[in-house]
Structure 1
């Protein structure tokens, strides 16, 4: 009974045995007869504990039983899991019990009506109540504490007038999830419980007591050695500070106090509830079991013929698990995989076998955050901790914009040979070799002979030495450009320079800020805000989008002074299927991805057609959107120039693809910046420029246009900045 009243939904063993003996569910009459007979055989004949659970009781049957007349001395009444619906009738019946200390009405239809006010009505008429539906009332005392400590129950319900010091023998007390607001209570004292050594107060707000008052109360329990409490919680947000305030504790949340102090762990948790996959109504039970099973059994991926990848929970496990691949014939075709389990500590019969899913991963690699993949309670802790972090002035994701100080220097020189001959270009990009046909340029197959290197490979010092590249050759990449083309560095660059601009969605690197991401996710879930995230590898251009995104081409001529050009033509990238978030669609690439230039069917739409459709459907003006996009792109490269001035190199030029999404208000959102963007459509489709000078843009001229790189070329829009930090070359040839 105690277990049933503590946790909704538990089965009462006695009732189950009775049901088995009688071949089915007990009737109300049988249940009452059993209770009366038990009281007569084991006590004074007075029924003080009555369980009428899951007996199909409705309001009419309850009234007909006239329980208050038959059992006037009742202390505990459980009507759990019946069909009671009428608030007035239930209140009237329950309040007739003048000695009642604990009614349980859980899992009845009337409880689902949260606005019915039944709890307040019952508490007003029954001032002696100490427990209501498993939660402590504000009048809780020795009976409620004794119930939680298993002193009182079906076999020993207590009496209306409890004897002196009934809790003297209590050594362990579990008060978790009791809805306690004020713990300072006459019954909860070292005088009443002098032998208390274990206390669990998890899941209680206890907001009416200050931290200092609670520490003072707990220090008075001189036998208390083990404490379970939420961190952050009513005792603060630091395990170290709790132990310093309660020096007699040897265990905090199941962890040795000395280890916490030695490691300076501020958040510790031993009550890790498994994270089981949520079950939907249409999901077969077998599928749910299999999903949960493989979450914990683990799987292994064969990286190559000589290496297995293992996804590495107990902080101090007594067993290890490792993959083993047996190939009896010496090849993969004959391979049989095993998981080998062996003890690493002495174990005896009856011991629990534990393993560490994150072997070798400590808090320096976000161990607690990673464990949320298996344990739900850690997610709750991190969300609470994240809320506290938001209130700190030094919180790293509330950075203010840095001053964008760009030092003026001379504009980069013009690229031309002294004798006026054609410039030699080396490239490993097929479109360049095919379409760069203007007489100002010639293709060379030797990198060391080229004036201009336009390559998709990174040109580092090792490559320069290997192929004979010198510092006098022009290359299509800037030093340290990873600050914009790698997603985690891009977010860091923007945050340092701009803070949190509206066009930059909250971004987290899972390698360094997983805890903050989890906290932010649960905070958004709590507040009912949009919680749809884009997950991308830091070094790959794969984006899960809503129907479409836009690819802009940006040419960077100089970092100091900052000179950037924006192509008059942008490209629309469309998903091939209508957008939906239905579960069956989540594995459909052509529903959620827009990049189709890797062997998939390309749903091409000309830019003018897209603009007309967008303006018509959403009643917007494209030129207004374009101005916002330009401003955003400018801010991106201003940020890079400000935070990373080491990017500047007079021999560097670069083309970047900037991917943009529009939200429901047609405001641009930055997705990513890509190095050496794909230019297949640029070289394949003629199109009309929507902005700038307008007119037809020939696909065959694209690469030559880029290499000429000047304001006389129609594809390039002059993008003037405010002040002298951004300038443009007046030269018609590449500079």
Structure 2
């Protein structure tokens, strides 16, 4: 460090001060210098590489890679902590810190019913508001025509008029069909369209329309399938309606999902030969597809397809055998996402046996599925989503939802450990990283001490790729990193996912079978007589403890601290001393322990079943 300041200025000083923290984080050594540079320059550049997307009908967010690719262990990113607190202070902070409750509610997706209702304002502003909005929309239309003229023949094929306050009267006055007769994609999301007849009348004039989005308009709350049926009848080429595939879906819809077609690259009306040849990744999840067998969805049209996601589709019009036959035809297919149980059956193992080219299924490697005999993959569990009532205050909503986002650490120095945990919520980017059993990123807390002392510490989280990641891949982490089934991993995941009841039934049955092989005979234990703790040889009693306060303040000369449990006369520990621990450490019944006999049967959950079985067998 500099002689004039305690501030860390060199990489060597950084490693010297943070060596233990770096090792604990698990960050590869090859990224240590990059972390140092970003910490010292306060570089938060993750926004240049990632994009946050809304999912689960607006009740959750996910993080996807927005750059072309990111190799394993190639980069490390700083993630800020949006809220750090002691648990006892949570409610008061939400009420008193300006903007905190609003930010947390937005981050946790519990504010979706609080959008400002501007209908009353519109009624007051009347014609002025309507004219102003119409002027803005017409400016957009003129801009689209100008851009199309500069880039080509002036034909506008893709039009996005989202959140533009367009009502029924304005839609009529815009006369879109005469201005844009060749329009292929039209988005009217988030407007004020209410009347079925007017929408059908105007939309069905667009005979070349391939995609129509009316999401988040009042009309969708009132109408049934009659509007959809009428639009499909009037627009026979329509392949996407409100984000779902229609029965007419084909090359255009698949090209849209395969990123062949978008606003900057709409298709021509005279479709070129085999436009899907270049598609390697196709996300068809949650498209309400009933029948996947289609002329466009074929190996002949997409010979390079290697990644396919068909999760969230009923596909009830296809048999398991029919779907498997189609998928077998794709020679390059390596990764598949599908509901299990679902359209391909109830067993992940059987799916892999039927599709031998697959390397991953639902994000889990085929070798791991086959090795562990997984029929249903854990990562497919339905997530727990926050629930709230309309009259519930923001602070209460956040307190209810925050457990899905909270992380924790404890501070310590050379002298003592802070027994009160520090709780924190990562910022919007970090909180959008969802769980996977096969994650492609890892997240770890990191305490940066710019002046080399705990008093100067600033807490961050660090994020880095642990697999090769490609554009549009979801970025995930393991919420229970390092915790396996020996520590009840699946049961712990219940905090974030709806674990099927069958899992707990199967685990109970397996545990019962395990207990049958154990000796469950009960041998009454005679209580030991209370004797003097003083040693007969007059030496000080040896005390083993893992509690810093005991070690610090036990200063009487009758006692001496030892580091080996088996050598101690007295054991004063925060750990539960059960038979397993006695075997591992060499503790005997002749030593004094700060626990009464069989205390573990009452306070340790994994001993409860065995205790109940013993009593049941005796009776």
Normalising to structure 2: TM-score of the pair?
A: 0.52
1:298 Cα offset (Å): 2.6
Alignment of 1:511-530 (within 5 A): none
Identify the match of residue 461 of structure 1 among 485, 506, 524.
Answer: 524
Alignment of 1:371-450 (within 5 A): 371-374=493-496, 378-379=497-498, 382-383=499-500
1:160 Cα offset (Å): 3.0
1:160 lines up with 2:269 in the alignment: yes
Match of 1:296 in 2: 406
Identify the match of residue 40 of structure 1 among 132, 141, 149.
Answer: 149
Match of 1:85 in 2: 194
1:62 lines up with 2:171 in the alignment: yes
> Residues 144 and 644 (structure 1 numbering): CA distance in 2 closer, same or farther, change over 3 Å?
same
Match of 1:201 in 2: 310
Does the residue aligned with 2:199 lie in a helix, a strand or coil? helix
Does the residue aligned with 1:298 lie in a helix, a strand or coil? strand
| Partner Cα distance (1:646, 1:271) in 2 | 39
Residue segments in structure 1 that go unaligned for 5+ positions in a row: 14-22, 325-333, 398-458, 468-536, 541-641, 649-735
Q: Deviations over 1:59-94 (max 9, x none)?
A: 111111221122221111111111111111111111
1:255 lines up with 2:364 in the alignment: yes
Alignment of 1:311-710 (within 5 A): 315=437, 356-363=478-485, 366-374=488-496, 378-379=497-498, 382-383=499-500, 461-463=524-526, 646-648=617-619
| Partner Cα distance (1:336, 1:463) in 2 | 56
> Residues 194 and 300 (structure 1 numbering): CA distance in 2 closer, same or farther, change over 3 Å?
same
Whether contact under 8 Å (2:133, 2:165) holds in the other structure is no
Does the residue aligned with 1:146 lie in a helix, a strand or coil? helix
| Partner Cα distance (2:274, 2:54) in 1 | 24
> Residues 139 and 7 (structure 1 numbering): CA distance in 2 closer, same or farther, change over 3 Å?
farther
Does the residue aligned with 1:27 lie in a helix, a strand or coil? helix
1:148 Cα offset (Å): 0.7
> Residues 276 and 298 (structure 1 numbering): CA distance in 2 closer, same or farther, change over 3 Å?
farther
| Partner Cα distance (1:346, 1:65) in 2 | 51
Whether contact under 8 Å (1:300, 1:310) holds in the other structure is yes
Flag the structure with higher helix content: 2
Whether contact under 8 Å (1:184, 1:217) holds in the other structure is yes
Whether contact under 8 Å (1:254, 1:269) holds in the other structure is no
Does the residue aligned with 1:463 lie in a helix, a strand or coil? coil
1:167 Cα offset (Å): 0.5
| Partner Cα distance (2:486, 2:322) in 1 | 34
Match of 1:583 in 2: none
> Residues 25 and 202 (structure 1 numbering): CA distance in 2 closer, same or farther, change over 3 Å?
farther
> Which protein has the larger Cα radius of gyration, Structure 1 or Structure 2?
1
Q: Deviations over 1:468-504 (max 9, x none)?
A: xxxxxxxxxxxxxxxxxxxxxxxxxxxxxxxxxxxxx
Alignment of 1:137-176 (within 5 A): 137-176=246-285
Whether contact under 8 Å (1:175, 1:202) holds in the other structure is yes
Match of 2:569 in 1: none
Normalising to structure 1: TM-score of the pair?
A: 0.44
1:49 Cα offset (Å): 1.3
Residue segments in structure 2 that go unaligned for 5+ positions in a row: 1-51, 67-131, 423-434, 448-453, 510-521, 531-599, 604-612
1:32 Cα offset (Å): 0.9
1:133 lines up with 2:196 in the alignment: no
> Residues 79 and 338 (structure 1 numbering): CA distance in 2 closer, same or farther, change over 3 Å?
closer
> Residues 286 and 39 (structure 1 numbering): CA distance in 2 closer, same or farther, change over 3 Å?
farther
Root-mean-square deviation over aligned CA pairs: 5.0
Higher relative CO (CA 8 A, sep ≥ 6), structure 1 or 2?
Answer: 2
1:246 Cα offset (Å): 0.8
Whether contact under 8 Å (2:160, 2:188) holds in the other structure is yes
> Residues 342 and 79 (structure 1 numbering): CA distance in 2 closer, same or farther, change over 3 Å?
closer
Match of 1:76 in 2: 185
| Partner Cα distance (1:342, 1:50) in 2 | 40
